[in-house]
Structure 1
């Protein structure tokens, strides 16, 4: 089968590797679609994603597909089932898994390398999807589950004002989920005018530049600020513009070599709560249900549909990733 590898030194290769039958509780899935994630780009650029990266590795983890075969210990899936995957494995036995925090599992690793024609996750990482949900949309289950976990942490109260930074693919999901949380007012911070227009279409009350949000913060008390970009300057500004008694969620994946700085005395006098969000513990089923409900517009988020070979150029040039979500098609079933 074909698989797309990051092999180190800004190099991506499509390789032919052996296919195999599933073992024990593995579910062999014929991948239909897989999203290109910002962490895939981080890995290609020689940085770590959610975990330390040691190439060569198969990229991709936001995948959906059709069950082709199952291992002898699988109970709830059969060939032909339409499914989405949670790519993050928790052993279930270590102290963090026992505490209900599998995102901190001592032996956690990825089990759905989606830039491949087949993946073999354990049964506990596989989720049925309804016949009404397209497989392309179902591939959004993993990034959406991360959004769900992040919003769980800050628990947005209805009627409050939320500022959100960044209308990339994850920000576009985040914005729609904030809208359905019952926020009273949503302000999106985005430099590109085209993306500001999309923000208004997806539910923002205002869409402004980073200069404009600083002016607004002088007159309005922002209750929540959600940063979905991961740049040092936007994370620092997110903390700066947050209002009194506000919650700040630094959701974007930052550069470990560029630590964030902020005025701790100002944060103290505003009594800020600063959150980060790591992975998606116990959120995938909810993400699937949200996608099945049809309340989210994923079509507006997709900027390109590419095959495995075309991803090599995209990782170098980021022509489409800057505009939205790049979807990688394998079997292209829907």
Structure 2
């Protein structure tokens, strides 16, 4: 493992380039992983469109953060991993010492260490992530399935934050990758899921991922009324997950929940976005509003168990496969695609794809 490698580097807004750069070497406590598979992500697309991410990265920088592969080099002092191990390395790790970490909010760590560079032949894993958020992949679990751990861990935490219980009714607004994961995890947890989607192709996909009922926004006059009509006595859902990130869907979420229910604003709109909410309904309806961000080491392990146990629909979540050389073209295409077919996540294979 010497010489150069090919990697995708983000230079700014819609400026993603494949470059030949030096192959990383493992320093003390670190791993270098030969990438087996990396996955596209809505956050990556958002960063590509905007040209930056306030917390995760500032260009020019290596790109991509959902990854699994094989340990190519283990630095001095690395316990528990050796060359040849199949691993999934999460994209961050908390310090476990700051104000927030000490209060069980590791996702808000004041020194949260992020890592990027999944769209490459090799990726260096910082020591803290090696120690706290790198997991051995069991034999038989494909790399592209293991790489789902990071987004699924965010969803697991979001679901935990709602406090929903088996038998509860949950509305999920949005049928992108995150919305579909919420539907599936909620269904696995014993909840009755109502999906709110837009496109024709999303109706069948929502049902595949566990939705008992689907409301298509383009097929009804009043989306809120149609959704509430599917709940007991029309009182609204016990919990609502917003996974679209628009002011309209944030307002829908509040109007769809029952008195005493919980709304989780999971989709993050751009900075400066404002919404209008009925304060009278919020107050006298005793409604809880929450917003969930990122994951913790605990939810990473819960998500990993869902994947490795075979309970989660990993195969169905991977809807396309490309080689590393197609990544810039792939993101340009993702910006303009309008649906019409089931598109969830694309797996990127540095070694190429057999068609």
1:297 and 2:313 are equivalent in the alignment: yes
The equivalences for 1:173-252 within 5 A come to: 173-183=181-191, 185-210=192-217, 211=220, 213-216=223-226, 217=228, 219-252=234-267
TM-score normalised by length of structure 1: 0.93
Q: Report the CA distance between 1:105 and its aligned residue.
A: 2.2
- Greater Cα offset, 105-114 or 16-25: 105-114
Tell me the distance in 2 between the aligned counterparts of 1:23 and 1:69: 9
Alignment match, 1:33? 37
Q: Matched residues in 2 for 1:46 and 1:202: separation?
A: 30
1:9 corresponds to 2:29: no
Partners of 1:112 and 1:268 lie apart in 2 by 42
Q: Distance in 2 between matches of 1:3 and 1:34?
A: 12
| More divergent stretch after superposition (74-83 vs 3-12) | 3-12
- Report the equivalent of 1:314: 330
Q: Which runs of 5+ in 1 are unaligned?
A: none
Q: Contact 1:92–1:102 (CA<8 Å) still a contact in 2?
A: yes
CA distance in 1, matches of 2:87, 2:314: 18
* Greater Cα offset, 312-321 or 294-303: 312-321
Q: Secondary structure at the match of 1:14?
A: strand
CA contact under 8 A between 1:10 and 1:44: conserved in structure 2?
yes
Runs of 4 or more above 6 Å deviation: none
State the 1:329 CA deviation: 1.6
Instruction: Check conservation: 2:156, 2:303, Cα contact below 8 A.
Output: yes
SS at match of 2:16: strand
2:348 to 312, 324, 328: 328
Q: Indicate if the aligned counterparts of 2:88 and 2:134 stay in contact, CA closer than 8 A.
A: yes
| Aligned mate of 1:263, from 269, 278, 296 | 278
Structure 1 residues 52 and 73, CA gap change in structure 2 (3 angstroms):
closer
C-alpha contact 1:39 1:50 (8 A) present in aligned 2: no
- Following the alignment from structure 1 to structure 2, what is the Cα–Cα distance between the partners of residues 233 and 262? 10
The alignment yields a C-alpha RMSD, in angstroms, of 2.1
CA deviation after TM superposition for structure 1 residue 53, in Å = 4.0
- Any idea what SS the aligned residue of 1:223 has? strand
Q: How many pairs does the alignment contain? A: 333
Of 173-182 and 249-258, deviating more is 249-258
**Contact 1:196–1:207, Cα closer than 8 Å, also in 2:** yes
Post-superposition shift, 1:177?
A: 0.2
Which ranges in structure 2 are unaligned for 5 or more consecutive residues?
A: none
Query: In 1, are the aligned partners of 2:197 and 2:203 still within 8 Å (CA)?
Result: yes
Residue 59 of structure 2: aligned partner: 55
The answer to whether the aligner puts 1:171 opposite 2:179 as a matched pair is yes
Q: TM-score, normalised by structure 2?
A: 0.87
For 2:60 and 2:203, locate their aligned partners in 1 and report how far apart those are by CA, in whole Å.
38
CA distance in 1, matches of 2:313, 2:242: 21
